[in-house]
Amino acid sequence: MLLLIIRAIYILICVGALATFAFTQNSGAPPFVEAHPVASFSVMLLIMLSILLIDVLIPRKRVEVISAIYFGLLIGVLLTYLLNLALAPLFAMLESMNAEGAAFRGAVTLMAILMMPYVCITFLLQTKDQFRFVIPYVEFSRELKGGSPMVLDSSALIDGRIADLIDTNIVETQFIVPSFILQEVQDIADSQDKIRKSRGRRGLDVLKRLQQDPKVEIKVHETIEDREKTVDQKLVDLCIEINGRLVTNDVNLNKLAGVQGVDVVNLNDVANALKPRFIPGEQLRIRIIKDGEGQGQGIGYLDDGTMVVVENGTREMGKEVDTVVTSVLQNSAGRMIFSKLADGHV
Residue range(s) of every CATH 2.40.50.140 domain in the chain: 276-341
Distance (Å, rounded) from C-alpha 290 to C-alpha 244? 43
Model pLDDT, residue 89: 80
pLDDT single digits (tens) 308-341: 888 888 888 888 888 888 888 776 556 788 888 8
Q: Is the pLDDT of residue 51 over 80?
A: no
Q: What is the pLDDT of residues 80-107, one digit of tens each?
A: 888 888 887 877 777 777 656 666 777 7
Q: Give the distance, in angstroms, between the CA of residue 36 and the centroid of all CA atoms in the same chain.
A: 49
Q: List every span in the chain annotated with CATH 3.40.50.1010.
A: 150-273
Q: What is the dihedral of CA 178, 179, 180, 185, to 10 degrees?
A: 90
150-273 adopts what CATH topology? Answer: Rossmann fold (3.40.50)
**CA–CA separation, 161 vs 271, rounded Å?**
9
CA dist 263 and 251 (Å) reads: 14
pLDDT, tens digit, 9 for 90 and up, residues 159-195: 888 888 888 877 778 888 888 888 888 889 888 888 8
* Alpha carbon 223 to chain centroid, angstroms: 9
Global confidence as pTM: 0.47
Q: Taking a C-beta distance cutoff of 8 angstroms, is the pair 87, 108 a contact?
A: yes
Q: What is the DSSP string of 61-84?
A: ----HHHHHHHHHHHHHHHHHHHH
Geometric angle at alpha carbon 162, from 190 and 289, rounded to 5°: 85
Please give the CATH architecture assigned to the domain spanning 276-341: Beta Barrel (2.40)
For 41, 55, 98, 250, 279, the CA distances from 159, given in Å and listed in that order, are 60, 40, 77, 10, 29
